[in-house]
Every structure is written in structure tokens, then in C-alpha cells.
Amino acid sequence: MNAMTALKIATQTHHSLLEANPHMHKLMSDRLTHTDYVSLLSRMYGFYVPLETCLSQFEPSWQQCGIEFNHRRKVPLLEQDLLAGGLTLDALHQLPHCTSIPRMQSFPQAVGVLYVLEGATLGGQMISRQIALQLGLHLEREVAFFSSYRSKTGAMWKQLSVQINSYAETAFSHTDMATMLLSAQATFQTLDDWLGSNRLTRIAV
Ligand code: HEM
């Protein structure tokens, strides 16, 4: 079994649980308000900032895989949406960051994390259209994070899949594979915990 198939199978339950998280679930509902949307983006920002900072420390390894990590960063898109959503730069910089992120001490762990963050762009296509419709927002300017690669999403995913599969096939031991899978599961789990099941803190905009 290739690495991407193993990742998909290992995280199916985790994905379902995250989808069922009340805050994620609300994104797809007709009760979504602009405040809900900005609050969720703020929380996603607090998760993605520390994760992307850690992922960027593996730049030489990304290059070896042919992965252009800088082109896959989502924090700039989150910043764009948050500013468009009414946050000031000051407020943006004061948003809390998640401190219990998955461990990234090895490259297989980083690959597990990247799989989850990139996979979010797939469901994001559907989510972004729903948000834009429900809130009357401009997809590219105000729903940039969830719409991310837009028409290029399928191609970006396919490219990543080929890169991860071929690198893992030659360079990852069985232990590395197991480490990668555990890391992807932990990424889903920590995001679910970070979002929590209670109401998100309201952000003053
Ligand atoms: C309301 C929330 C969500 C919905 C409705 C949703 C929906 C989907 C859908 C429909 C797909 C399959 C797309 C396709 O095969 O073309 C998918 C894939 C995926 N999603 Fe989500 N998603 C949600 C949230 C998230 C979040 C927050 C993350 C991670 C941060 C995530 C990670 C993934 C991953 C890793 C895959 C790829 C699975 C594979 O290996 O094929 N999803 N999602």
C-alpha cells in the first residue's frame, strides 16, 4: 500500500470526527453568521501559524521530495480573510496560538502533518462555496483560505500525492511509515481539541 492510501485509511475516523465538530459542522449550515466565520478563521490561524513554522524547518527535506512548501502555506490566506473580515493587524497578532501541536522532530512526522493540512483544501472547495453563498462573500478576496488553490486544487493534491508516495517508497522504513500515520492522526486530534466543542470566543470586529 502506498503512503497516501495508508494516510487516508489511518485518518478516516479522525476526519469524520473533525467534520462533526460543532464549529466545522456549522460552516456548512444555513445558520452560519459572519461572526462564526471570523471566529473559526481566528482559531484556524492560531493552529496553522505554529504548524507552518515547524513545517518550514524541514525545507531541505521538502526540496528533496520536490515539494515547494512555501507555495503551500495557508497562513497568508488566513491573514487575508481575517483582515477582510474586519480584524485589525494588531488584533491579528494578538490571536492565541495553539501550544499543543503534534510533535515534529522527524521528517515522517512533518509529512503526516502536511498531508492533513493539504487534504483540507479538498473539502475546502465545497466549504468555501457554501460560506460565500451563505454570507454573501467574495470567494477569492474573503474566503481565500477555504478556497485556497481553487481550480488547481485537484492538480496540487495529485502532485503532492505523487511526491509523498515516491519519496516514502524509497526513503521511509516501516517505522517511519508508522510515525507518519500517527502524526497525521495527532494533527486531526489536536485541531479537534483546539477548536473545542464549546462556543468559540467571540472576536470583536
Ligand atoms: C466541514 C468540514 C469538512 C468537510 C465537509 C470536509 C470534506 C471533505 C471531502 C468531501 C473530502 C474528499 C474530497 C475529494 O476526495 O475530492 C475531504 C478530504 C480530506 N479532508 Fe476534509 N473536510 C472538512 C474538514 C477538513 C479539515 C478541517 C481537515 C484538516 C485540517 C480536512 C482534511 C482532509 C484530508 C486530509 C482529506 C484527504 C483524504 C484523502 O486522503 O483522500 N478536512 N474532506
- Could you tell me if residue 148 is left (phi over 0), alpha (psi between -120 and 50 degrees) or otherwise beta? left
Give CA–CA dist 114/121, Å, rounded: 11
Domain interval for residue 24: 3-195
- Is 128 within the bounds of a domain? yes
Collapsing DSSP states into helix, strand and coil, what is residue 10? Answer: helix
| Mutational pocket test of ligand 1: of 122, 130, 158, 164, the residue with most ligand atoms within 8 Å of the beta carbon | 122
- Is 204 within the bounds of a domain? no
- Is 205 within the bounds of a domain? no
| Residues having CB within 6 Å of any atom of ligand 1 | 7-8, 15, 18-19, 24, 27-28, 115-117, 119-120, 122-123, 126-127, 191
- Is 202 within the bounds of a domain? no
The pTM for the full model equals 0.94
- Determine contact, residues 186/103, Cβ cutoff 8 Å: yes
Share of the chain above pLDDT 90, in %: 95
Say how many domains are in the chain.
1
Specify the pLDDT at position 205.
42
- Is 169 within the bounds of a domain? yes
Give CA–CA dist 39/195, Å, rounded: 10
C-alpha cell of residue 71: 507555495
- Determine contact, residues 79/92, Cβ cutoff 8 Å: yes
Over the stretch 147-204, which tens digit does the pLDDT of each residue have? 999 999 999 999 999 999 999 999 999 999 999 999 999 999 999 999 986 645 544 4
> Which CATH number do you get for residue 107?
1.20.910.10
